[in-house]
Structure formats: C-alpha cells, structure tokens
Amino acid sequence: MLLHWLIFPITQSRVTFIFFIPAIVLATTIAGRGPAVLVAVVGLINSAVMKSPGMLMVPNSAEQVSLISSALVSIMVILVGDYYRSISRRELSDLHELHELSATLAGIAGLSDQLRLILSTFARMHAATQGIICTYPARGDTLSVAASIGFGHEGKPEVRDGGLVFVDRQRVVVADTETDARAAGFRDWLRALGVRAIHSTPLISRDGEILGVLSVHFPEPRRPSDREIRIADICARKAAIFIERARAEELVSQRDRRFQSVLESSGVPFIILSPVHGEAGKIVDFRFLFLNTAAASVMRVRPGEYAGRKVTDVLPRAWDDRPRFDMYVDALEHNEIRQIERQTEADGNANWYHIVASPLDGDLAVWFADITRRKLQERELLDADRRKDEFLATLAHELRNPLAPIRQAATIARSDLATDAQKRWSNNVIERQVQHMSLLLDDLLDVSRITHGTLQLRKQSADLQSILGAAVETARPLIDERRHQLVVEAPDDLQVNADPLRLAQVLSNLLTNAAKYTAPHGSIRVMVAQHDGEFSVSVEDNGIGIAPEELPKVFGMFAQVRSAQEHAAGGLGIGLALAKGIVELHGGRIEAASAGIGKGSRFTVHLPDNVVATMVAPTPAAVRGGNGLSNKRILLADDNRDAAESLAIILRLEGHEVDLAHDGQSALRSFESRRPDVALLDIGMPNSNGYEVARRIRAVPEGRDVLLIAITGWAQDADKIESRAAGFDHHLTKPIEPDALIGLLALP
Ligand code: ADP
C-alpha cells in the first residue's frame, strides 16, 4: 500500500492497485489465511477510496465490476495459496518426523524397540490409532507380531496373513473391510476390533526376501494417499534394514556362541594369546585373551582368571621353554601355522603336548593336544625293542655257551688216547650241555605257546610234596654249587589238582632264580600256606633284592633288571613270564615282593582253593622203561645219520634189533623186506617225508599193528595232530629222551 501511494503522483488513478495480488500471495504464504484476508480487505478498501464514490454507486459501472472481480481474485488467491502452504507445511513436518525417526533409531539398541518406534511414527503420520508390524523368523514361515499399537492383547493372536495384515510382495490396500472380499472371513472379528480399512506394506530385504509386514488400520473406509504410500515405503524400508541388521548380528553372535561353546566343550586345552611388544618393537611376551575350560583346568585356574594378564605375570618361567616361545613368535611373524611337541609342567605333571599355534587377526590361537600316552607308548615300544635286541643277544650267547664244552668233549671222546674215565666224563659233559640247551629250547617253545594261548595243562591229582621235590631236584645243582641253605616248609598230605610238571617247572624256576640272585651262602625258604580260599607257595631268599620301581616289570617278557644282570649269569629273562603264564592258566596269580636292593626277594604263587584236591588220588605210575620185556625189531629212519646211528646204538644196547634208513623210499623198502614191530620215523626226510611213509605203512594190512613213533623237531600241537592223522601212535620231540623212548618200547 505504501508502494502504491509512493508511485501514485506519477500513475494517478490510471494504474489500478498493482501490488494488491502479490501482497495477498505473500501474506498467505508467510502468515496464512487470516492475515491474507486482512490484506485483501484493506487493499479493496484502498481501491474503493481511490475510485470516485459516484462511479462506484453506478450499477455495472467499470469501477464496480473491477472492485468485485478484485475481491473474487483475492479470494481465489487466498484459497490456492493456503492450500499450497498447508501442503508444504505437511511435507516439512513429514521430513522432520522422518528425520527425527532416523536420529532416534540410531540410538536404540533392540530390534523390537526399533520396530515399535517405526510403527508409532508410521501410525502417527497416518493419523491412525491402530497398527501392527509383523516379522517372519530367520528360519520359518510363521508370522509373529513384533510390535502393535491400539489392539491391546486381542490383536496379537490373530495376525496371520489375511487377518489384520495381508502379506504379499505388493502393498495390499483393503479400503473397506465390509465390501472387500479379502476380508470376508474376518469381518465379525474386524468389526469387533473397530477396523474398517487396512493398509499393509511388505518388508522386503535387499535380496528380495519378505521379512514381514507393516500395517495400519482405520475405523472408517479409507484409501491411502500418495503421501501415505510414500511414508509407508520409507518406513517399511527402514524396518527391513533394521530386521536385516538384527539378523546379521544374531548370525554373527550365534556363530560366536557356537565357536565359544565348541571351544569350551572341547577337551583339548585352547588359549588365545595377544603379543606384547617391547621397546624395540619385538615381541617380548604374550597376554592371555581367552582360555577354555580345559586349558584353565590344566593350569589349575578359573577360566576368567588369567584373561588379560601377561603370561610371565602368572607363569614367570613359561618362556624358559625358549623353543615354544620362538615358535609362537615365528607363527605370528610369518602368519603361518606352526607346531611343536613339548613336555610341559603346566599342571604339575610333566605331560607331553602337541602344540599348534595358528595366527588369528594379529593374535595367536594355541591348541594343546595331550600326547603323553602316545609318547609313553613310543617309549615302551623302544623299550620293548631294546629288550628284544638284548634278548636275542643273550639267546645267541646262551645257545653258543654249551657248544664249546660239547665240541671239546666230543674231541676227547674221539681220541684214541683218552682213557675210559675221560670218555665217560666227556659223555657226561655232552649230556649235561645238551640237557641245558633243550631246557632252553623248551622254555622258548613254552613261552611261544603261552603267548599264542596254545599251552595245554595236563591236570591231575598230585602230591605237592613230590612236585616240590621235583622242583628242588632241578634247582639243587645250582643251590649246592652256591652253597645256599634251603629250608622247605610244606605239609605232607597236600594233594593238588594241577599239572604237576608245569607247577614243578614254575617252582624250580623260582628256586633257580633265588639261587642265582643270592650271593653264595645265602638262605632260601620255601613255604606253603593255605588261607582265604586259596593256597600259596612262596620262595624267599636273602639275595640282591629288587628295586621297588622294577618290581612290576620282572614278569614281563625278556625282563631283566640291570642290577641282576651285573650280579649273576642271568638267563633269557623269560623264566618269570613263563611262570606267570602257567600260574594264570591254573587260575592263580604270582606276586613279587622285595624290601629293596640288597634286601632279598619273595615270590609267591597263589592258587585257588579248587586246585587243592579233597581226596588223595593215586599218582599215575611213571612210565619207566625196562630192558627185559621183549626185544623189538625197529626200523629207524632219519636223514641225520649221526642222530640215527647214535640212537641205534642206544636201542641196540637195550637189546632191540635196529634197521637204519636215511630217506623215505628206503624206509618203505626196509619196512617191506624186514616187517619191523616198530617204526621210528623222522618227519623231515627226502623222498617221502615221515607222514607219507607212515600213511603208506598204515595203508597195507601188515602195517596196521606196527607201533609208529614220530621223531621230530616240530613240537606244536598242530604238528602232533597232523602226525596222529598220518597214523603215528606217538610223537617225540627232538632231542628225544632215550629213557622216554625206551619206556614206550617197553609197553606191551
Ligand atoms: P632270568 O632268566 O633273567 O632270570 P626271569 O624271568 O627268571 O629271567 O627273571 C627276570 C628278572 O627278575 C631277572 O633278570 C632278575 O633281575 C629278577 N629276579 C628274578 N628273581 C629274582 C630274585 N630272586 N632276586 C632278585 N631278582 C630276581
């Protein structure tokens, strides 16, 4: 108006009020409808004042029409301006709301709070009082309510697709639930909830997966405006982002939890270390970041106790094990896995660990696999290997020992100059040494039978006294030689149901050991006791004794205690293993006791009570050969001429007639021509072996009654079965006991 009056002297009333419209637009935009109306009224009055009042009164005069049209234009301008003003104000407020939402969401931690805020903002911007946001679980297709407003509790149970929400890839607008067929099934329920219109927007992930749905509900029929659709899209997008983020976080924390629980539940000790750098930038120590339960228990701490502390603070001597420290540093510096086997004393025991260090984002993951048992087994294997080598050396020595006297005695016996006494002496020497060797071989065979479980006991009722007597008889030469004093305390009347030969073998072994491992003029005591359902025989000496740590080992195969080796001409180290095997076959056990080195030893054989026979049964008469029964015609076939001839001499001395053959075919020829009563056949012969010859003899009628005896180096049960199958009556093992053979021949 001011401007108008300023230019009035120039324009006079020729120019109408040109600032009128802009002034109304300005007033509407800035101040709203009211002030704009005021401006328009003032402008119109001003225009009217400038016109001549007489002209204004003239109906349809130009002045009157111009004033009325100015008023109409002002009204239109005010209405249009006000409309655009309200739109821009709402957009501004929308922007403001959405900005507020983003800012607040950034500060909220939990997904359900985030979704609740999105929903409430969304509903407010729709001026809706009811709304629901539903989500699908990460794995599964059951929609569940994440947040709701305006439904109290009733809204929650029935949100399934098609109820309060509609899940589709597209937005679903049910403008009127009374007329829309999609809401047909839920009308009563929707009515009860006061819902008449539904606007559902899907929450879609970046990968196109439907994560859930965002819905608002209205009490009146309604269709969302473009603005509301835009807001729905923005809010749905925001909700999808937060759901995806929460899922990703859940996935990470789930993996974390799994990783943690695997590490925790693993029996393998595991730690994570972070390097501690010194001034020069070199790694000087490590810090514990994590210890699993197994590691904590190995270190005897609670899992959290070491976390964050330097290794040397809690284990000051940890890096005395330099190779291990260097291995950790090396793994970190080269960013490669390194491993090492170390014996550590972390838990107070010197256990062996296979340690694997693996770089982990600048830290070090370290596993400790306990390999103590493997190491022990390795050591045991090495030990067994060493004992086996020692055994072979001893065996070679033991077998070679008798050869020298035998060779010398044979030379003397052959000499024409030797007197009869010298020849007899030589024969004794040879016999003794051969006896010694065959005992050795018997022991070896027995050990092998025990190991293979093929040793059979020949149990019978026998007198313990005579078993002891036989054992003492065997050990007697050594006991006497070393001038020991032997005391045997045993009841006279004890009968046992056992294999007398094997039991005597066990006891003679114990007695021989006692004699061997006791300095001359020692004393040896044998005691028999019966109590607690078992009876025991113990052999006690006052000899070199056994160190406590060696006690458990003495029954092992090839076991020889060092001090014993140094003290006496030890045997093969199989005697006690054999004794243990035989006693166990009887259902008993054998124990060694000693108060220590130099304090003597006691070996006790415990046998169960059922070994003690209740009745005195007659002992079977020993098979004893005689000279006078009946002389036999004997075919003796052996490709070892010396063996054959020497045996022939013995048999002839017994009064038998002996024909010799040195292979299978000549044995058969001799059988046909001479018709012997007895055939002694070696098994391993050229031109038909002993089995073959036996079968051929048995095949002819004249051969049915012939006494067939196999003489062989093969003494396994399987060999005996085979010889019996071939028709042999007896099976004698080389070197044969002449007496046993003579006894067999004496049988009727
Ligand atoms: P060996 O043939 O060496 O005697 P054994 O199996 O009979 O083998 O005995 C095993 C080891 O047990 C012997 O080497 C010896 O060290 C120890 N031992 C056995 N009996 C006695 C004992 N009476 N006193 C001391 N040590 C013994």
680 is written with which tokens? 């002694």
pLDDT of 567: 44
Q: Which amino acids bring their CB within 6 angstroms of ligand 1?
A: 513-514, 517, 541, 543-544, 546, 554, 559-561, 564, 570-577, 601
Q: What is the pLDDT of residues 397-439, one digit of tens each?
A: 677 767 777 877 888 788 887 788 888 888 888 887 888 788 7
Span from the CA of 429 to the centroid of ligand 1 (angstroms) = 27
> Residue 485, Cα to own-chain centre: how many angstroms?
57
| 130-135: strand order across its sheet | 144-149, 130-135, 210-218, 197-204, 172-174
* C-alpha–C-alpha distance, residues 164 and 217, integer Å: 8
Chain centroid to CA 227: how far? Answer: 64
Residue 84 carries which side chain, given as an amino acid letter? Y
* Shortest-distance Cα residue to atom 25 of ligand 1: 545
CB 499 within 8 A of CB 586: yes
Predicted confidence at residue 628, as pLDDT, reads 39
CA of 554 to the centre of ligand 1 (A): 7
N- to C-terminal Cα separation, the chain? 165
Q: Which atom of ligand 1 is nearest to the CA of 539?
A: 23
Pick the residue whose CA is nearest to atom 21 on ligand 1. 513
Tokens 């269709």 sit at which residue?
A: 223
For 499, other C-beta atoms within 10 Å of its C-beta total: 21
Nearest CA to ligand 1 atom 3: 573
Per DSSP bridges, beta strands 707-712 and 678-682 are: parallel
CA nearest neighbour of 131 among 104, 167, 102, 156: 156
For residues 387 and 382, give the distance between their C-alpha atoms in angstroms, rounded to a whole number.
8
555 CA distance to ligand 1 middle (Å): 9
Cα separation of 717 and 736, whole Å?
17
Q: Give, using CA atoms, the residue closest to atom 13 of ligand 1.
A: 560
Question: Token digits for 616?
Answer: 């005195």
CA torsion 174→177→178→183, rounded to 10°? 100
Nearest protein CA to atom 7 of ligand 1, as residue? 575
Ligand 1 atom closest to the Cα of residue 509 is: 7
The residue whose CA is least distant from atom 12 of ligand 1 is: 554
Asked if 158 contacts 164 with a C-beta cutoff of 8 angstroms, the reply is yes
C-alpha neighbours within 13 Å on the C-beta side of residue 152: 4
Helix (H, G, I), strand (E, B) or coil at 265: helix
Cα of 713 from ligand 1 centre, angstroms: 29
Atom of ligand 1 nearest to the CA of 544: 25
Tell the residue nearest (CA) to atom 11 of ligand 1.
560
Give the whole-angstrom CA distance, residue 606 versus residue 584.
9
Contact residues for 323 (Cβ-Cβ < 8 A; gap 6+): 340, 342
- When computed from its CA atoms, the radius of gyration of the chain, rounded to whole angstroms, is 57
Say if residue 342 is exposed, middle or buried (CB neighbours under 10 Å; 0-12, 13-18, 19+): middle
* The pLDDT value given to residue 512: 93
Ligand 1 center to residue 569 CA distance, Å? 11
Distance 567 CA to ligand 1 centre (A): 11
What is the distance between the alpha carbons of residues 208 and 629, in angstroms, rounded to a whole number?
A: 112
- Best probe residue, ligand 1, of 567, 576, 578 (max atoms within 8 Å of C-beta): 576
Q: Cα(539) to centroid of ligand 1, in Å?
A: 13
Q: What is the dihedral of CA 397, 399, 404, 410, to 10 degrees?
A: 180
Q: Please list, in sequence order, all residues whose beta carbon lies within 8 angstroms of the beta carbon of residue 243, skipping any fewer than 6 positions away.
A: 111, 115, 135, 203, 205, 211, 212
Rounded distance from Cα 490 to ligand 1 centre (Å) = 24
Contact indicator for 38, 45 with CB cutoff of 8 Å: no
Secondary structure E strands in 25-136: 130-135
Contact assessment for residue 572 and residue 558, using Cβ atoms and an 8 Å cutoff: yes
Strands 707-712 and 730-733: parallel
- Closest ligand 1 atom to residue 560 Cα is 14
Q: Are strands 363-370 and 730-733 parallel, antiparallel or unpaired?
A: unpaired
Preceding amide of 491 cis, omega within 30: no
Among protein residues, the one with the nearest Cα to ligand 1's atom 16 is 561
| Those residues with Cβ within 8 angstroms of residue 392's Cβ, 6 or more apart along the chain or in another chain | none
Shortest-distance Cα residue to atom 23 of ligand 1 = 514
Distance between CA atoms of 733 and 648, rounded to whole angstroms?
17
User: How many whole angstroms from 513 Cα to the centroid of ligand 1?
Assistant: 6
CB contact at 8 A, 318 and 284 = no
Q: What is the pLDDT of residue 8?
A: 66
CB 331 within 8 A of CB 338: yes
Q: Which atom of ligand 1 is nearest to the CA of 574?
A: 6
Distance CA 397, CA 614 (A): 46
Cα 258 from Cα 251, distance rounded (Å): 10
Q: Name the stretches of the chain with pLDDT < 50.
A: 155, 157, 563-568, 614-629
pLDDT at 661: 92
Residue whose CB lies within 8 A of the most ligand 1 atoms, among 509, 517, 544, 562, for a mutation test: 517
Distance CA(509)–CA(578), nearest Å, equals: 9
The sheet with strand 589-594 has its strands ordered as 485-489, 523-531, 534-541, 601-608, 589-594
What separation in Å is there between the alpha carbon of 382 and the centre of ligand 1? 21
Closest CA to 640 of 680, 678, 693: 680
Distance 611 CA to ligand 1 centre (A): 26
Ligand 1 centroid to Cα of residue 576, in Å, is: 7
Q: Which two tokens stand for residue 362?
A: 């600048």
Return the structure tokens found at 658: 């002996």
The ligand 1 atom at the shortest distance from the C-alpha of residue 559 is: 10
Tokens of residue 648, six digits: 């022939």
Residue 530, classed as helix, strand or coil, is strand
Residue 211 near residue 240 (C-beta atoms within 8 A):
yes
Whose alpha carbon is nearest atom 4 of ligand 1?
Answer: 571
- Distance CA(95)–CA(93), nearest Å, equals 5
278 exposure class (CB count in 10 Å sphere: 0-12, 13-18, 19+) = exposed
Read off the amino acid at residue 726: A
> CA 16 to CA 11: how far, in whole Å?
9
CA distances from 70 to 3, 42, 43, 75, 549 (A): 18, 12, 9, 9, 125
Rounded to two decimals, the pTM is 0.43
Cα separation, 618 vs 615, whole angstroms:
9
Atom of ligand 1 nearest to the CA of 577: 6
To test ligand 1's pocket by mutation, which of 526, 540, 560 has the most ligand atoms within 8 angstroms of CB?
Answer: 560
Question: 503 CA distance to ligand 1 centroid (A)?
Answer: 18
DSSP secondary structure letter of residue 189: H
Among 387, 443, 509, 513, name the best residue to mutate to test ligand 1's pocket (greatest count of ligand atoms within 8 A of Cβ). 513
- Supply the pLDDT for residue 100: 85
3 state DSSP class of 369: strand
Q: DSSP states of 266-282 as a string?
A: -SS-EEEEEEEE-TTS-
Q: What is the pLDDT at residue 710?
A: 92
For residue 199 the two structure tokens come to 């606007």
Report how far ligand 1's centroid is from the alpha carbon of 570 (Å): 7
Max intra-chain CA distance, the chain:
192
Closest CA to 734 of 688, 691, 680, 689: 680
Cα separation of 192 and 154, whole Å?
10
HSE-up (13 A, CA, CB side) for residue 241: 11
- CA of 321 from ligand 1 middle (Å) equals 41
Q: What is the pLDDT, as a whole number, of residue 698?
A: 93
**Residue 24: predicted pLDDT:** 79
User: What separation in Å is there between the alpha carbon of 597 and the centre of ligand 1?
Assistant: 13
C-alpha 461: how far from chain center: 52
User: Per residue, what are the HEC states of 279-300?
Assistant: CCCCEEEEEEEEECHHHHHHCC
